[in-house]
């Protein structure tokens, strides 16, 4: 069972860390593993519990944990997650939750490719000057105004000034 946990540990340890060898895991990826595998349920095991256990098992000045420290953390979280089971059964249940799991990428927004312009219809674009639209700045043509008469546009407020309502 621990070898399957080792594979899951490695998959999560390298997730988002291009320079990681997969032998150590940071707190962010540890929390992600606990959440994605269902160890963190939000009731018996919360994100705070996960952070506390991570801090408890890691070395004093370290930012990552080894697989051995990870196993210690799983023992602690298992007892909290499965209170009605004995420690060995609880740990086995946690390892079952981890079996074959990969880091989830659902809900993650992909970045647009460089050079790709997302606004393709310029007629729908809203042109802004300061925080006013061009339509707001263009006075309506009145019968007394002529097309050739100069129009003075109000200046946008100074960024540091405050306007009272």
Q: Where are the domains of the chain?
A: 2-98
Among 8-12, 93-97, 122-126, 142-146, name the one with the lowest average pLDDT.
Answer: 122-126
CB count in 10 Å sphere of residue 67: 16
Provide the CATH number for the domain formed by 2-98 in this structure.
1.10.238.10
Indicate the Cα dihedral angle 125, 127, 131, 132, nearest 10°: -110
- What is the chain's mean pLDDT, rounded? 80
**Tens-digit pLDDT profile for residues 37-85:** 999 998 999 999 999 999 999 999 999 999 999 999 999 999 999 999 9
pTM score above 0.85: no
């Amino acid at each position: 069972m621990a070898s399957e946990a080792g594979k899951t540990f490695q998959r999560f340890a390298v997730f988002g860390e291009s320079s990681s060898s997969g032998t150590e895991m940071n707190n962010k990826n540890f929390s992600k593993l606990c959440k994605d595998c269902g160890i963190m349920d939000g009731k018996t095991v919360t994100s705070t519990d996960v952070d506390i256990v991570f801090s408890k098992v890691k070395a004093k000045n370290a930012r990552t944990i080894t697989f051995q420290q990870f196993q210690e953390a799983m023992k602690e979280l298992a007892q909290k997650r499965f209170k009605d089971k004995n420690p060995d059964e609880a740990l086995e249940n946690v390892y079952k939750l981890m079996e074959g799991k990969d880091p989830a990428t659902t809900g993650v927004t992909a970045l647009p490719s460089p050079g790709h312009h997302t606004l393709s219809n310029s007629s729908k674009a809203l042109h802004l000057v300061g925080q006013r639209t061009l339509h707001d700045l263009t006075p309506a043509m009145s019968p007394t105004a002529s097309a050739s008469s100069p129009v003075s546009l109000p200046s946008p407020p100074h960024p540091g000034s405050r306007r009272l309502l």
